[in-house]
Amino acid sequence: MTSDHSPQVVAIVDDDQSIQRALKDLMESAELLARCYGSAEEFLESQHRSEIACLVADVRMPGMSGLELQARLKLEGARIPMIFITAHSDAKLKTEAMNAGAVDFLFKPFDDEVLLDKVRTALED
């Protein structure tokens, strides 16, 4: 739980560094602290996991996918709201993610304000 004086931390898990930078800048423009991870494995190994209030993850990454990360966190009992982003239009993956409890599933390119609204909603729940 965060105090009113510290920003809430959003994890960005994406193998594309330009996406990481853009989303980090976007979160920080909304006064949210963002931590970037290049893979699901890197996120899982992070010592900062307990600080994460919301997770924005790419669906398709080398190694563990975003959906596999979601399943792993659920198995561990972690209750981190997740928002998926993907460049691949796949209704089956979207259904799978949403049924497993994702906050939303956005297709790239998406509107920055839409993502921020989804993140804010996740942080309020």
SS3 of 42, please?
helix
- The pLDDT tens digits along the chain (125 residues) read 444 556 689 999 999 999 999 999 999 999 999 999 999 999 999 999 999 999 999 999 999 999 999 999 999 999 999 999 999 878 899 999 999 999 999 998 999 999 999 999 999 97
DSSP β-ladder status, 33-37 and 9-13? parallel
- Per the CATH hierarchy, to which homologous superfamily does domain 9-124 belong? Response regulator (3.40.50.2300)
Domain boundaries in the chain? 9-124
User: pLDDT at position 8, please?
Assistant: 83
